[in-house]
Amino acid sequence: MEVNLMFEGLLQPTHLIIILVIVLIIFGPGKLPELGSSIGKAIRGFKKAMAEPDEKSGNISETKKNEEKKE
């Protein structure tokens, strides 16, 4: 319960603005597009890995099933 109180309201708009300003100061405006691109690639890679069949159980995700139907 104490942990829940500690993280309550963590993602308020003012906090997000402060985080954005700190990131802007650290990386500078020139690096932000590159940083955003690398984060996007990481998220797409994670989604792709989640969509691949689970080798241990042999399950195939819904996305993979839909891709196979299209072919």
Whole-angstrom distance, CA of residue 46 vs CA of residue 40: 10
Share of the chain above pLDDT 70, in %: 65
pTM of the model: 0.47
Q: Is the pLDDT of residue 32 over 90?
A: no
* CA 35 distance to own-chain centroid: 13
The upper half-sphere exposure of residue 21, i.e. CA atoms within 13 Å in the direction of its Cβ, equals 6
Structure tokens belonging to residue 66: 């839909």
Q: Is the pLDDT of residue 64 over 80?
A: no
